[in-house]
Amino acid sequence: MQTAFRSKVDAQFAWIAAAMPGVALLALLTARAHTALLWIPLGMACLAAVIVCWIFLGTYYELLGEELVAHCGPFTWRIPLREISAIRDSGSTRSGPALSLDRLEIVHGGGKRLIVSPADKAGFVAALRERMSGSRRVP
């Protein structure tokens, strides 16, 4: 059974993510030449590009032992499977490790919510429920 699931990526998120460093680079290219402080915006544009790439390449969800681990670039969420009380479809625009608006909401730990967007939603939910069924009732 699959234990790692990539995030689904919506086209509009991909375009916005590509445009952010592109706009910064365009601003640099149109800036006045021979400016002593040009390295500051250049460094910021490079940093933005690295972070955007890290988030797009590093957003995935793993089932490790008795935990669901959600990765999104430099951020990680760990949820013990025994704390999950509900898994449901969500159209929420809340922030979370999700690169698509085709989302799932995972309710855990007394009402906390984590928004995820696995590319294989059915496979993700089935794998999550299978892992949870060994430890207690399945939501």
**CATH number, domain with residue 53:** 2.30.29.30
Query: What pLDDT band is residue 102 in, cutting at 50, 70 and 90?
Result: very high
Q: What is the pLDDT of residue 33?
A: 66
**Selection from 68, 97, 62, 61 nearest residue 82 by Cα:** 68
Q: What is the pLDDT of residue 45?
A: 77
Higher per-residue pLDDT: 109 or 20: 109
Query: What pLDDT band is residue 74 in, cutting at 50, 70 and 90?
Result: very high
Beta carbons within 8 Å of 91's beta carbon, 6+ residues apart: 101, 103
Q: In the chain, how many domains are there?
A: 1
Report the C-alpha gap between 110 and 107 in whole angstroms. 8
Q: What is the pLDDT of residue 65?
A: 87
In the predicted model, what is the mean pLDDT of the chain? 85
12 by Cβ neighbours in 10 Å (0-12 / 13-18 / 19+) ranks as: exposed
Cβ atoms of 132 and 124 within 8 Å: the answer is no
Token representation of residue 132: 């949870």
Query: What pLDDT band is residue 40 in, cutting at 50, 70 and 90?
Result: confident
65: left (phi over 0), alpha (psi -120 to 50) or beta: left
Structural domain range at position 105: 1-139
Cβ atoms of 71 and 58 within 8 Å: the answer is yes
Strand bridging mode 84-90 / 67-72:
unpaired
Query: What pLDDT band is residue 91 in, cutting at 50, 70 and 90?
Result: confident
